Structure formats: C-alpha cells, structure tokens
C-alpha cells in the first residue's frame, strides 16, 4: 500500500511523539523505582513489562497512522523523538516526577499528622478519662456500700437479738420438715439422671 507524502509525515510525527512518550515513561519509571527503592530482582521484570507495553503502544499508534506498515521513517521518527526527549526534556520530566513524589509523601505525612492530632490523641484522652471516671465510680460505689453496711449493721444486730427468742422455736419446728423433704438426696438424683441422659444421648452420637 503506497502512502501519500502527508500520510508519511503524519506517521513520522506520531512516531516522534511516541519516542518522546517512551522517554517520559522510562524516566518516570526509573525515578519511581529509585525513590520507592524497589528490590533489585524486580527491576528486570519491570524493564520487560515496560518494553512490552511500549511495543504494544507504538504498534497501536503505527496501525492508526499507516495501517501498521513498518518503514524506515518509522524508526527514524522514533529515534528523533527519543533523542529530542533526552536532550531537551529529560531533566524537566525527572524534576517534575520527583516533585510529584515529594508532594504525595508530604500529603500522606500531613494526613497522618492530622489523624494523630484530631482523632487518635482525642480518642486516647477520652479512653484515659473514661478509665479514671470508671475507677472513681467503682471506688465511690464500694465506699458507699461499706457505709451503708456499717449503718445497717447495728439495726441488724438489734433485730436479731430482739427476734432471736421468737425465731429459735420456729426454726426448730421447720428444720425437721425441711429435713423430711430430703432436698440433698433429690438434688443428687436429679443431677445423676441428667448426667446419665447426657451420656446416653450425646455419647452415642459421638461414637
């Protein structure tokens, strides 16, 4: 397929822009990997991914410009674009990428500091205040209970002393009746039956 001169110049211009774009991505990737300190063993993998992505993108641009035909001016355009980038734009792009990374770090640090100042520290203060108030309320409750017990104790002793002669005969009469109920024996039987039922019911299912 023969392309017109304008189509060839358009394709060459697209390849030139693609070369500049490849340089921008390469410098950006290089700065990010250095600033974030990627492990050395990951760098070859990222290099492979970069070249694979660059090849796909350039082929897509080439397909849009001249239906994917590979001509000498295609490589010429790419080479010129890469050379222009590294001679004129590389330092500026590297500086911009570093500035963006520093800005992101600053914003993350600012968010962390604001979170610590307005959320974490107030929550810690409320927690400590709650512990103090809870301890104070517990101590106050125990103290009040002791006071109430001390106040009631004389009346309890007085009532027991006054009602003792009346309650002793009643207790003596009630004790045989309660003993006749055999509560201990009945409780032991109920407990034994419950244990046997448990063993028979759940012991079989476990087997």
The span from the CA of 140 to the CA of 163, in Å, is 34
Evaluate if residue 11 carries a pLDDT over 80: no
Instruction: Write the pLDDT tens digit of every residue in 13-37.
Output: 888 888 888 889 888 888 888 887 7
Average pLDDT, the chain: 82
According to the model, what pLDDT value does residue 91 have? 92
| Burial status of residue 72 (CB atoms within 10 A of its CB: 0-12, 13-18, 19 or more) | exposed
Instruction: Write the pLDDT tens digit of every residue in 55-64.
Output: 888 878 777 7
Alpha-carbon torsion 122, 124, 130, 136, what sign?
negative
The span from the CA of 62 to the CA of 74, in Å, is 8
What are the boundaries of each domain within the chain? 5-131
Neighbours of 56 (CB within 10 A): 10
Neighbours of 192 (CB within 10 A): 10
Evaluate if residue 1 carries a pLDDT over 60: no
Give the whole-number percent of the chain exceeding pLDDT 90.
22
Which contacts qualify for 129-135: CB closer than 8 Å, 24 or more apart? none
The span from the CA of 166 to the CA of 164, in Å, is 5
Evaluate if residue 142 carries a pLDDT over 80: yes
According to the model, what pLDDT value does residue 2 have? 59
Evaluate if residue 206 carries a pLDDT over 70: no
In this prediction the pTM is 0.57
Instruction: Write the pLDDT tens digit of every residue in 149-204.
Output: 888 888 877 877 777 777 777 777 777 777 777 777 888 888 888 888 877 776 65
């Amino acid at each position: 397929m023969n392309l017109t001169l304008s189509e060839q110049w358009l394709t060459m211009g697209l390849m030139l822009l693609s070369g500049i774009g490849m340089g921008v991505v390469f410098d950006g990737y290089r700065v990010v990997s250095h600033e974030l300190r990627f492990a050395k063993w990951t760098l070859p993998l990222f290099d492979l991914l970069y070249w694979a992505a660059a090849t796909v993108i350039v082929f897509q641009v080439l397909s849009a410009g001249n239906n994917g035909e590979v001509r000498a001016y295609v490589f010429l355009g790419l080479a010129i674009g890469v050379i222009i980038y590294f001679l004129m734009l590389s330092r500026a792009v590297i500086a911009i990428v570093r500035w963006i990374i520093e800005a992101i770090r600053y914003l993350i640090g600012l968010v962390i500091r604001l979170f610590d100042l307005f959320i974490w520290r107030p929550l810690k203060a409320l927690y400590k205040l709650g512990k103090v108030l809870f301890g104070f309320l517990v101590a106050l409750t125990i103290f009040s209970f002791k006071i109430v017990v001390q106040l009631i104790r004389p009346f309890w002793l007085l009532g027991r002393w006054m009602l003792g002669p009346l309650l002793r005969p009643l207790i003596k009469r009630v004790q045989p009746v309660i003993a006749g109920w055999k509560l201990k024996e009945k409780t032991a039987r109920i407990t034994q039956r419950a244990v046997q039922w448990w063993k028979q019911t759940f012991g079989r299912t476990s087997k």
